[in-house]
Amino acid sequence: MAAGIGDAAAGRLIGLGMGPGDPELITLKAARLLASLPVIAHIHAETPEAGAAGPASGGEAGLARGIAGDLIRADATLIAIAMPMREDRAAGAAAYDAGAARIAGHLAEGHDVGVLCEGDPLTFGSFMYLAARLSGRFRIEVVPGITSMTAAAARLVLPLAARTDSLAIIPATLPEAELARRLDAADGAAFLKIGRHLAKLRRVLTAAGLADHAWYVEHATRPEERILKLSMLADDTAPYFSLILVHRRGEATR
Amino acid sequence: MAAGIGDAAAGRLIGLGMGPGDPELITLKAARLLASLPVIAHIHAETPEAGAAGPASGGEAGLARGIAGDLIRADATLIAIAMPMREDRAAGAAAYDAGAARIAGHLAEGHDVGVLCEGDPLTFGSFMYLAARLSGRFRIEVVPGITSMTAAAARLVLPLAARTDSLAIIPATLPEAELARRLDAADGAAFLKIGRHLAKLRRVLTAAGLADHAWYVEHATRPEERILKLSMLADDTAPYFSLILVHRRGEATR
């Protein structure tokens, strides 16, 4: 009795933004859905490794699951999708294929399935890879989440953008020249996915004359949070859940 | 008995992100604070006018107050800060001065004061102008909010950024050449503050070959929400609470 997108009996796939780490930064809507959805899927890291490139790695196994905590309905069916290290594209794709197939089974039986996502599901979220595999066959909805960028800015009381400022969200994985070009075209910037790209990023910020203005934020709003001026950071690499904020005119008022 | 930042008896100024419009997109933390804070301030438009340039105008008087609804503690003291049209910088500054002075009175008496902010307080939020006037004298905290950008993307199920994408948040108020330069340095973009800048933005997107990929979202997640392809929008101006999303490779899966 498989059901599809045209079939009112089929379930919905719902990406649930879990925010940056503090469980209180979940929205009322996501909390309500966690308490009611019969099936909850989450990504589970197969091989956690510090400094690796994906959200399923970096020792962050099940972060979104941890944020959701016991807000999840007690009798919900949990689907843990085992995700190998991101560097292996083919293995990653196979893991998403397998996860999407398991989710599709529940959707076809008429059950709504929530997918737990760190931060916001559509901002560098792995939800997109599941959604791409299930769109067209099933209805898809998204509950937006608090991003690590706004959470880090909040902890610093650092304005991200005002008046005619533009703000760029830039993955540190880009080549050095591209990082410089994108920073040059913005008033404020948040660099994500820092990992082993920290030295490259320091060079880019120094060349732009912004190294002394940059803030480093690790695990924003979590118990292990670290916040310091980038110039005071001695580390050579950073975990996946870290970011650097900088603004040409901005000063933190913290 | 005035108290200051070094005085534990003084209250805290707390910027409260109210999200884009749907009251369910308030965070659990903001909801808890709304229910407990003894003083709540909000910006109240003095001269609402459609298509004007500021969040306190455009017929949006008290949007954040409307989102907070009856989550606010019943016996809370409400401070409505009357804000003239943004075009008059001096009048705006005087209004922030007066509002900050009223807030300072409550802080000095030891009361925490929450300030209601549409979206996120530090992303184009007027909270920054109050915080700048009170920092140094009082402790300041911020509860991040769901931005209109992530809310609009969620409604479209449109990925904002993936893998090595960068994403730019660009106010449409910038000159045409600057809009083009900032768009050129990004994979995805959200244009805010559209108002009377719609024609200029259409030219920029057309020149970049992206006009047919762009989505127009007005009042995301509110009852009066409008979502359509930019190419289908006949209007010449847009309200303040509208935005345009575009991604070089992105397709909405809605």
Question: Residue A140: which of B140, B153, B17, B20 has the closest Cα?
Answer: B153
| Residue A52 confidence (pLDDT) above 80 | no
Q: Is B89 on the interface with A (CB under 8 A)?
A: no
**Contact (CB, 8 A) for A189 and B169:** no
Other C-beta atoms lying within 10 Å of the C-beta of residue B70: 9
**Closest to A253 (Cβ–Cβ): which among B135, B150, B185?**
B135
Q: Is B186 on the interface with A (CB under 8 A)?
A: yes
**Closest to B185 (Cβ–Cβ): which among A124, A150, A185?**
A185
Grade residue B3 by pLDDT with cuts at 50, 70 and 90.
low
CB contact under 8 Å between A159 and B122, yes or no, is: yes
**Closest to B182 (Cβ–Cβ): which among A150, A166, A253?**
A166
**Closest to B168 (Cβ–Cβ): which among A15, A136, A166?**
A166
CB contact under 8 Å between B24 and A17, yes or no, is: no
Name the average pLDDT for chain A.
Answer: 90
| Residue B62 confidence (pLDDT) above 90 | no
**Amino acid at position B29, single letter:** K
CB contact under 8 Å between A168 and B168, yes or no, is: yes
Q: Is B252 on the interface with A (CB under 8 A)?
A: no
CB contact under 8 Å between A157 and B171, yes or no, is: no
Residues of A within 8 A of B32 (CB-CB) are 24
| Residue A59 confidence (pLDDT) above 50 | no
Question: Which ranges in chain B are annotated with CATH 3.40.1010.10?
Answer: 12-143
Q: Pull the structure tokens for residue B186.
A: 């990004």
Alpha-carbon span A227 to A238, nearest angstrom:
12
| pLDDT one-digit tens code per residue, B73-128 | 999 999 999 888 666 788 889 999 999 999 999 999 999 999 999 999 999 999 99
Q: Tell me which of A54 and A42 has the higher pLDDT.
A: A42
Residues of B within 8 A of A170 (CB-CB) are 166
Alpha-carbon span A176 to A198, nearest angstrom:
11
CB contact under 8 Å between B167 and A168, yes or no, is: yes
| pLDDT one-digit tens code per residue, A141-155 | 999 999 999 999 999
| pLDDT one-digit tens code per residue, A200-237 | 999 999 999 999 999 999 999 999 999 999 999 998 88
DSSP string, A191-220: EE--GGGHHHHHHHHHHTT-GGG-EEEEST
DSSP string, A164-192: T--EEEEETTS-HHHHHHHHHT-SEEEEE
Which of B136-145, B152-161, B219-228, B234-243 has the lowest average pLDDT?
B234-243
Beta bridge mates, B138: B135
Q: Which residues 232-251 of B have a C-beta within 8 angstroms of A?
A: none
Alpha-carbon span B56 to B46, nearest angstrom:
8
Q: Which residues 151-170 of B have a C-beta within 8 angstroms of A?
A: 151, 153-155, 157-170
| Residue A124 confidence (pLDDT) above 60 | yes
Degrees, nearest 5: CA angle A199-A160-A235? 20
Alpha-carbon span A80 to B252, nearest angstrom:
26
Grade residue A51 by pLDDT with cuts at 50, 70 and 90.
very low
Residues of B within 8 A of A186 (CB-CB) are 168, 182, 185
What integer pLDDT is reported at residue B70 of this predicted model? 92
Average pLDDT over residues B117-144: 96
Other C-beta atoms lying within 10 Å of the C-beta of residue A198: 21
What integer pLDDT is reported at residue A152 of this predicted model? 98
DSSP code of residue B1? -
DSSP code of residue B220? T
CB contact under 8 Å between B140 and A158, yes or no, is: no
CATH classification code of B12-143: 3.40.1010.10
Grade residue B8 by pLDDT with cuts at 50, 70 and 90.
confident
To the nearest whole angstrom, how far is the Cα of A79 from the nearest Cα of chain B? 22
Average pLDDT over residues A45-51: 55
Residue B99, CB-side half-sphere exposure with 13 Å CA sphere:
31
**Amino acid at position B59, single letter:** G
What integer pLDDT is reported at residue A4 of this predicted model? 57
Grade residue B193 by pLDDT with cuts at 50, 70 and 90.
very high
| Residue A71 confidence (pLDDT) above 50 | yes
Name the average pLDDT for chain B.
Answer: 90
| Residue B1 confidence (pLDDT) above 50 | no
**Closest to A150 (Cβ–Cβ): which among B28, B120, B253?**
B120
Question: Which ranges in chain A are annotated with CATH 3.30.950.10?
Answer: 148-247
Helices (H), B208-252: none
Query: What's the sign of the alpha-carbon dihedral B111, A155, B148, B171?
Result: positive
**Closest to A154 (Cβ–Cβ): which among B143, B182, B253?**
B143
CB contact under 8 Å between A122 and B167, yes or no, is: no
| Residue A60 confidence (pLDDT) above 50 | no
Q: Which residues 61-80 of A have a C-beta within 8 angstroms of B?
A: none
What integer pLDDT is reported at residue A88 of this predicted model? 77
Alpha-carbon span A151 to A115, nearest angstrom:
21
**Closest to A150 (Cβ–Cβ): which among B123, B155, B184?**
B123
Q: Pull the structure tokens for residue A196.
A: 């082993």
| pLDDT one-digit tens code per residue, B15-58 | 999 999 999 999 999 999 999 999 999 987 775 444 444 444 33
What integer pLDDT is reported at residue B236 of this predicted model? 87
Residues of B within 8 A of A15 (CB-CB) are 154
To the nearest whole angstrom, how far is the Cα of A171 from the nearest Cα of chain B? 6
CATH classification code of A148-247: 3.30.950.10
Average pLDDT over residues A86-95: 83
Q: Which residues 107-126 of A have a C-beta within 8 angstroms of B?
A: 120-124
Q: Is A222 on the interface with B (CB under 8 A)?
A: no
Q: Pull the structure tokens for residue B251.
A: 């397709």
Question: Residue A184: which of A203, A210, A219 has the closest Cα?
Answer: A210
Question: Residue A153: which of A252, A242, A248 has the closest Cα?
Answer: A252
* CB contact set of A114 (below 8 Å; sequence gap of 6+): A14, A15, A16, A33, A34, A37, A39, A40, A41
Residues of B within 8 A of A68 (CB-CB) are none
Q: Tell me which of A203 and A53 has the higher pLDDT.
A: A203
Grade residue A24 by pLDDT with cuts at 50, 70 and 90.
very high
